[in-house]
């Protein structure tokens, strides 16, 4: 995997937080901190996109004639199959 060198500007508070993460032993350098933050942001973005897609699918499907309990049971069953 190729890497790209970037220059970023941080506040003193943000820089201090990054340094504290490194001194705690959680990371070995600034780049590790930034890459982890980016990976986490990407995962969160993917999670939110999946939720949005599910909501849109639900809206397109229209109203259901299922009772709330039947819907909950179907969700529990689907989760147990995973």
Domain locations along the chain: 12-80
* Distance in angstroms (rounded) separating the CA atoms of residues 31 and 37: 10
Q: What is the pTM of this model?
A: 0.73
Q: Judge whether 25 and 17 are in contact, CB under 8 Å.
A: no
Please provide the DSSP assignment of 23-63 as one string. HTTS-SSHHHHHHHHHHHHHHHHHHHHHHHHHHHHHHHH--
Q: Is 1's pLDDT higher than 90?
A: no
CA dist 48 and 78 (Å) reads 20
Q: What is the pLDDT of residue 9?
A: 98
Residue 3 has what pLDDT?
A: 92
Contact 18, 10 (CB under 8 A): yes
């Amino acid at each position: 995997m190729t890497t790209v060198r970037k220059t970023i500007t941080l506040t003193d508070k943000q820089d201090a937080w990054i340094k504290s993460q490194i001194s705690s032993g959680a990371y070995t350098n600034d780049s590790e901190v930034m890459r982890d933050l980016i990976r986490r942001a990407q995962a969160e973005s993917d999670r939110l996109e999946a939720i949005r897609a599910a909501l849109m699918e639900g809206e397109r499907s229209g109203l259901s004639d299922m009772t709330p309990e039947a819907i909950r049971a179907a969700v529990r069953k689907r989760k147990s199959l995973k």
